[in-house]
Chains A and B, each alone.
Chain A
Amino acid sequence: MSNTNTPLVEMRDICISFGGVHAVDHVSVELHPGEVVGLLGHNGAGKSTLIKILSGAYAMDSGEILINGEKAEIRNPRDARSYNIETIYQTLALADNLDTASNLFLGRELVTPFGLVDDDAMEAEAREIMARLNPNFQKFNDPVSALSGGQRQSVAIARAVYFNAQILIMDEPTAALGPHETQMVSELIQKLKAEGIGIFLISHDIHDVMTLCDRASVMKNGKLVGTVDVDSVTDDDLLSMIILGKHPHQKEA
């Protein structure tokens, strides 16, 4: 973290295929502390697959991952968490039958001195963080299946934010949110960025990417089209990268 020239995350030459489909094909991306990197591309471009490799959900076929300049072995989600990588999945990855607090702490439950799960302590923590993220949120004693799309999304966001991530992965975090909640997520991203956290943001909203991100990487058919400084391109440049797979000016490559 001290040396900002060393990337927080470096994914080098990552490949993974599912039954002959090259979902991610020799892709390299990097992320620095306090930086927001947007990942863009059509549905099926391989964005989710790429970040799932970083979050330990998939094992890559080849390539390597460096965290703070050191080679990292991420074989499962627990490994990823041990590197302070937190993920908001596109599918949210919530257990519908459990309540908010249980989902928030799933896999990292607070326990009493006897080793039993401390539901009351977890509920208190959940109330506190939800009060900051989504002040209207009240349904703490219902299973999350009873929540609206936006409420579920805020539970997933709370889970990623609560555990002091160094590296935050957000896969379409505003997909189910209304304008007001989307605005809150934007503010949250800026706040976390200011704290020095590195964020991968997958989004379909070019405007969001232009305002929130420092750099943007565009993928198409599993391949990296290119990575650009957001300040040096226009909306149309990004769009043509996404649609045509064409790099606007080769200066970054």
Chain B
Amino acid sequence: MSNTTETKTAPPHGLPPQDKGGPLARFLKATELDTRLLGMLGALALIWIGFHVYGAVFNGFGAFLTPRNLWNLSVQTSSIGIMACGMVLVIVTRHIDLSVGSVLGFCAVVMGVTQVYVLPPLMGVGHPMIWIIAVIAGMIAGTFVGAIHGWLIAYRAIPAFIVTLGGLLVWRGVAFLITSGETISPVDQTFKLLGGGPYGAVGEVGSWIVGALGCIAVVVMVLNSRKQRTRFGFVMRSVWADYFIGGISCAAVIGSVLLVNSYPWPKGIVKRYVAETGIEVPAEGLFISHGFAIPVLILVVVVICMTILMQRTRFGRYVYAIGGNPEAATLSGINTKWMTVKIFALMGFLTGLSAVVASARLGSATNALGTLDELYVIAAAVIGGTSLAGGIGTIYGAVLGALVMQSLQTGMVLIGFDAAIQQIVVGAVLVFAVYLDNLYRKSAK
């Protein structure tokens, strides 16, 4: 019935770009930029500049917009950011996961026990396979726990709220039983690099390589999308708009490389490094760049993979479909129950990965690791525009949400607000962000 061969010769479809509205409206239309994304970036810029200026005026020193602080901010955002990516899927499908903080603690303990108590006697301390096996063990533990939650939710019809509320208590308790409340340390030296720190970063050259790959990816994506649209004769974004977006993206990538490369190792670390390696120190001193921290690169890889998963695979399409109309998804032949198991297993997998970052950063594993993280992860996703009603949410939004929250906390620490105020502000921002989002959605209709 359908005649696919004629498609290619079909005339251009759609309406031509209209020249209505003010210059800003026309610009947005031509570039097809996501106004929500712009709004979030604007809010972030406001927060950053606000804290910097506040510090400069009241404390005599603006500490926020410094390479050191921004680098630390990126590392601190990683753990919550990784989990927020999974939480988007959970919330988009109208579920919730209250257990991620506890599961993170449980995974960290599993990895701690594996690399400190189980493997060294078998393989010898510092064996290069130890950290790999430990990481795999932790992520399997997380995936398994998530799959159990998903199975109870999908096949035993227990609400996600209850299953994961139970999980919050159960897995924290299990973590305590395993450790008897004691801290497990020291973790494997290679494992520790996954948490960041001067050694746990890829350095100047490494960062430039990452930056170059990023720019190449941007160019390929822009060209590919033009090619696709030509193939079907769709209306094209004008060339200047494509160049503009590609240019901005590349500039952002290069800017971040310059930023992380301008943050040097602390003097003490440099001294120790010089003593260990015996390299020559030039007269003007040794400037060793941090470069991108490994946990940040892990987060970037997670964001890229999860974005592809959500936007370009059937799995992601079904996640949105289930969120939009579960009945329609079922009637379209989607196995919604099995999807739920997979979504929660993926949430667990990412929680395990986040546990790697968190416990490597700490250099140990404790049963209390990740306490209250579930609230920050859910808040990150929601601030990032994920709708609790289901069907709506993006990966980049959730990560930006995590960054907004971490920025608020870091900023308040820098200007000397205490923990009580931090809680009040973060809580208020969460509620306010959802309110703004409602307004935005109403006006967008």
Known contacts being A77-B333, A123-B232, is A128 close to B321, with CB within 8 Å? Answer: no
Known contacts being A107-B332, A107-B334, is A128 close to B324, with CB within 8 Å? Answer: no
**Is there contact, CB below 8 Å, between A120 and B229?**
yes
Whether A172 sits at the interface, judged by CB under 8 Å, is no
**Is there contact, CB below 8 Å, between A94 and B10?**
no
Of the listed stretches A34-42, A64-72, A110-118, chain B binds A110-118
Give Cα distance in the complex from A81 to B333, angstroms.
8
**Is there contact, CB below 8 Å, between A123 and B314?**
no
* Chain B proximity of A173: nearest CB distance (Å): 15
Closest to B322 in A: A95
Residues of chain B lying within 8 A (CB to CB) of residue A123:
232, 234
382-420 of chain B: CB within 8 A of chain A: 391-392
Whether A106 sits at the interface, judged by CB under 8 Å, is yes
Residues of chain B lying within 8 A (CB to CB) of residue A95:
320-321, 324-325, 328-329, 391
Whether B228 sits at the interface, judged by CB under 8 Å, is yes
Whether B57 sits at the interface, judged by CB under 8 Å, is no
Residues of chain B lying within 8 A (CB to CB) of residue A97:
320, 323-324, 391-392
**Is there contact, CB below 8 Å, between B2 and A128?**
yes
Whether A29 sits at the interface, judged by CB under 8 Å, is no
Whether A109 sits at the interface, judged by CB under 8 Å, is yes
The winner among B7, B14, B314, B445 for most chain A CB atoms within 10 A is B314
Whether B122 sits at the interface, judged by CB under 8 Å, is no
Whether B189 sits at the interface, judged by CB under 8 Å, is no
Whether B312 sits at the interface, judged by CB under 8 Å, is yes
Contact with B along A27-57 (1 / 0, CB 8 A): 0000000000000000000000000000101
Residues of chain B lying within 8 A (CB to CB) of residue A161:
1
Of the listed stretches A12-20, A85-93, A175-183, A234-242, chain B binds A85-93
Known contacts being A89-B331, A93-B327, A97-B391, is A115 close to B313, with CB within 8 Å? Answer: yes
Residues of chain A lying within 8 A (CB to CB) of residue B321:
95, 98, 102, 106
**Is there contact, CB below 8 Å, between A78 and B333?**
yes
Closest to A77 in B: B333
Contact with A along B148-172 (1 / 0, CB 8 A): 0000000000000000000000000
Closest to B92 in A: A97
* Chain A proximity of B303: nearest CB distance (Å): 17
Closest to B7 in A: A124
**Is there contact, CB below 8 Å, between B333 and A76?**
yes
Residues of chain B lying within 8 A (CB to CB) of residue A87:
331
How many interface residues does chain A have, given as a range?
A: 35 or more
Whether B277 sits at the interface, judged by CB under 8 Å, is no
Select A93's contact among B13, B332, B391, beta carbons within 8 Å.
B332
Give Cα distance in the complex from A77 to B328, angstroms.
11
Whether B271 sits at the interface, judged by CB under 8 Å, is no
Residues of chain B lying within 8 A (CB to CB) of residue A214:
none
Give Cα distance in the complex from A190 to B308, angstroms.
43
Residues of chain A lying within 8 A (CB to CB) of residue B332:
77, 93, 106-107
* Chain B proximity of A180: nearest CB distance (Å): 23
The winner among B6, B14, B317, B320 for most chain A CB atoms within 10 A is B317
Residues of chain A lying within 8 A (CB to CB) of residue B38:
none
Whether B443 sits at the interface, judged by CB under 8 Å, is no
Residues of chain B lying within 8 A (CB to CB) of residue A146:
445
Residues of chain B lying within 8 A (CB to CB) of residue A128:
2-3, 6-7, 10
**Is there contact, CB below 8 Å, between A93 and B328?**
yes
Give Cα distance in the complex from A95 to B92, angstroms.
13
Contact with A along B430-445 (1 / 0, CB 8 A): 0000000000000001
Select A120's contact among B1, B2, B15, B234, beta carbons within 8 Å.
B234
Residues of chain A lying within 8 A (CB to CB) of residue B1:
161-162, 164
Whether A83 sits at the interface, judged by CB under 8 Å, is no
Whether B18 sits at the interface, judged by CB under 8 Å, is no
Give Cα distance in the complex from A95 to B334, angstroms.
12
**Is there contact, CB below 8 Å, between A98 and B229?**
no
Whether A147 sits at the interface, judged by CB under 8 Å, is no
* Chain A proximity of B156: nearest CB distance (Å): 19
* Chain B proximity of A120: nearest CB distance (Å): 5
Select A77's contact among B2, B10, B331, beta carbons within 8 Å.
B331
The winner among B313, B320, B328, B391 for most chain A CB atoms within 10 A is B328
**Is there contact, CB below 8 Å, between A106 and B334?**
yes
Known contacts being A95-B321, A96-B391, A161-B1, is A107 close to B333, with CB within 8 Å? Answer: yes
Closest to A110 in B: B4
Closest to B232 in A: A124
Whether A206 sits at the interface, judged by CB under 8 Å, is no
Whether B231 sits at the interface, judged by CB under 8 Å, is yes
Give Cα distance in the complex from A81 to B330, angstroms.
13
Closest to B390 in A: A97
Select A129's contact among B2, B234, B329, beta carbons within 8 Å.
B2
Known contacts being A77-B333, A106-B321, is A116 close to B7, with CB within 8 Å? Answer: no
Residues of chain A lying within 8 A (CB to CB) of residue B228:
120
**Is there contact, CB below 8 Å, between B15 and A138?**
yes
Residues of chain B lying within 8 A (CB to CB) of residue A115:
313
Residues of chain A lying within 8 A (CB to CB) of residue B318:
107
Give Cα distance in the complex from A129 to B330, angstroms.
24
* Chain A proximity of B314: nearest CB distance (Å): 5
Contact with A along B4-36 (1 / 0, CB 8 A): 101100100111000000000000000000000
Give Cα distance in the complex from A107 to B320, angstroms.
12
18 A-B pairs whose Cβ atoms sit less than 8 Å apart in the complex? A57-B330, A57-B331, A77-B333, A81-B333, A89-B331, A93-B325, A97-B320, A97-B391, A97-B392, A98-B320, A106-B332, A115-B313, A116-B312, A117-B312, A123-B232, A127-B13, A138-B14, A161-B1
8 closest Cβ pairs, A-B complex: A95-B324, A97-B324, A107-B332, A97-B391, A78-B333, A93-B328, A107-B333, A106-B332
Given A120-B234, A123-B234, 16 extra CB contacts under 8 A: A55-B331, A57-B330, A81-B333, A94-B325, A95-B321, A95-B391, A97-B323, A102-B317, A107-B318, A115-B313, A117-B314, A120-B229, A127-B10, A128-B10, A140-B13, A164-B2
* Chain B residues within 8 Å of A, Cβ to Cβ: 1-4, 6-7, 10, 13-15, 228-229, 231-232, 234, 308, 312-314, 317-318, 320-321, 323-325, 327-335, 391-392, 445
